[in-house]
Amino acid sequence: MCSRRLARHWLAAPSDDLTAVAGDVCGIHAQVMSAAELSLGLRVAGSTAADVRAALWVQRSLVKTYGQRGTVHLFPSDHWGIWSSALSAVPRHPPALRPGVDLDRTQLDTVIDAIGTAVLEADLTVDELDARIGELIGAWACERVFPAFATMWPRWRLALTEAAYRGAVCFGPNRGRNVTYSSLHRHVPGYARMNGPEALAEVAFRYLRTYGPATADQFARWFGAPRPTAAQVFETLAGRITEVDVDGNRGWLPVDDDVVPDPGGGLRLLPYFDAYAVGCHPRERVFPGVASSRALTNGQAGTVAVVLIDGMVRGVWHHRTTGRRANITVEPFSPLARRHRDDLEAQVERVGGVLGRMPVLTIGTVGAARHL
């Protein structure tokens, strides 16, 4: 099970194509951009963080936008029609409207149209977007009514994720420390949506190819979909997927796709929110023993950078850049075999190469290095 996933995640052997890797793993989590650059860089031979930024902002072969679970991801630009349609097709049941705070359906549509219009000609910071939306549809949309991050956000920001799902907006390049928002239609010319249920089925199929064997409930958790919706999607895949049993764990795989690749995992370093750690189940198999307490946060994966050995979490790590150095601390949960020590040294060199820093390795205790 693990060797198959490692191969599909380009962790057994590296790829030579950043964009293809982002598609193969069903999106790269990019809430923390430096972690996204490492997730891609560690999978693509010789690549650097600068290559990831060039793919985003020069070639525009990647798009940065809101993806599954409402979190920021990098997707291949030419795949976004499928992802956008699938994300929009998931039913959402928001809590009862809070009078004076939430957007009703008409207001939501109005704000999304305004967001798309505002960024049509130029990338805007959140403050610039706030001012422009006020000009377009009125001050009501900009009233600061929503508590977030120890401040109050304007009402229109409640529509931002849905605006991304509908293809009205994506992220632009940072302007200094300020995030900018851009037009999806400028970033991905020719972008076109597809039938929602068909797109959702295609995304589920791709998930099983890379993360399987997996259940409908595990897909629901990963994608942020209601469990009944996920079960219905798996039913629509009848004839394309098959149920298998791997070491007592039952799940689904694409038909004729149950061959286990040759083992080749070894030791790998995965940054915060890496796709492999976040998407692979069952948790007790991927995070065995002490890893369940050291590398998960209330059962949530991704908040800790992990050390994989043959596809299972067997340690944690952390890095900090100072000047031209990347200080990397690795804490294995048990002594490393010689071959794993060799893998570790190679991985540390790759981290340094991606970051453009001279790596300095310390094997020792990793303190409280969770990203929440």
- pLDDT band at 1, cuts 50/70/90? confident
CA 168, distance to chain mean position in Å, is 20
Q: Select from 1.20.1270.10, 1.10.10.10, 1.10.3720.10, 2.170.190.11 the CATH code of 196-254.
A: 1.10.10.10
Please say if the pLDDT value at position 148 is more than 90.
no
Mean pLDDT of 102-130: 94
Nearest C-alpha neighbor of 314 from the set 350, 275, 270: 270
For residue 84, give the 3-state DSSP assignment.
Answer: helix
Structure tokens at 161: 């994720």
Angle at 250 between CA 249 and CA 255, to 5 degrees: 130
- pLDDT band at 153, cuts 50/70/90? confident
Domains of the chain, residue spans: 92-192, 196-254, 267-363
Looking at residue 263, what is its pLDDT? 58
> What does each C-alpha distance from 288 to 71, 161, 236, 240 come to in angstroms?
26, 34, 33, 31
> Rounded to an integer, what distance in angstroms lies between the CA atom of residue 38 and that of residue 40?
5
Please say if the pLDDT value at position 37 is more than 70.
yes
Please say if the pLDDT value at position 117 is more than 80.
yes
Looking at residue 261, what is its pLDDT? 60
CA 9, distance to chain mean position in Å, is 13
DSSP annotation of 200 reads: H
Give the model confidence (pLDDT) of 179-214 as tens digits. 999 999 999 988 888 999 999 999 999 999 999 999
- To the nearest 10 degrees (0 to 180), the angle between helices 196-211 and 80-89 is 110
Looking at residue 145, what is its pLDDT? 85
Q: What percent of the chain has pLDDT over 90?
A: 83
Of 9-13, 40-44, 257-261, 347-351, the least confident:
257-261
Compute the Cα dihedral for 354, 357, 359, 364 and give only its sign. Answer: negative
For residue 181, give the 3-state DSSP assignment.
Answer: strand
> Rounded to an integer, what distance in angstroms lies between the CA atom of residue 359 and that of residue 321?
9
Write down the pTM of the prediction: 0.94
Instruction: Put residue 308 in one of left, alpha, beta given phi > 0 → left and psi -120 to 50 → alpha.
Output: beta
- pLDDT band at 329, cuts 50/70/90? very high
- pLDDT band at 273, cuts 50/70/90? very high
- pLDDT band at 370, cuts 50/70/90? low
Looking at residue 264, what is its pLDDT? 60
- pLDDT band at 62, cuts 50/70/90? very high
> Rounded to an integer, what distance in angstroms lies between the CA atom of residue 113 and that of residue 181?
14
Q: Pinpoint the alpha helices (H) of the chain.
A: 2-8, 18-24, 33-41, 49-57, 80-89, 105-118, 126-137, 160-165, 184-187, 196-211, 216-223, 227-236, 275-279, 283-286, 291-294, 338-355
Looking at residue 257, what is its pLDDT? 81
- CB–CB of 70/224 below 8 Å? yes
Please say if the pLDDT value at position 289 is more than 80.
yes
Looking at residue 256, what is its pLDDT? 84
Mean pLDDT of 47-71: 96
Mean pLDDT value across the chain:
92
Give the model confidence (pLDDT) of 336-345 as tens digits. 999 999 999 9
> Rounded to an integer, what distance in angstroms lies between the CA atom of residue 118 and that of residue 104?
21
> Rounded to an integer, what distance in angstroms lies between the CA atom of residue 354 and that of residue 315?
21
Please say if the pLDDT value at position 94 is more than 80.
no
> Rounded to an integer, what distance in angstroms lies between the CA atom of residue 29 and that of residue 74?
6
Mean pLDDT of 105-132: 95
Pick 348 or 105 by higher pLDDT: 348
Please say if the pLDDT value at position 355 is more than 90.
yes
Mean pLDDT of 337-357: 96
Please state, as a whole number, how many other Cβ atoms lie within 10 Å of the Cβ of residue 325.
15
Cross-strand partners of 74: 28, 64
Looking at residue 99, what is its pLDDT? 66
> Thinking of the domain 92-192, which architecture would CATH place it in?
Orthogonal Bundle (1.10)
Please say if the pLDDT value at position 123 is more than 70.
yes
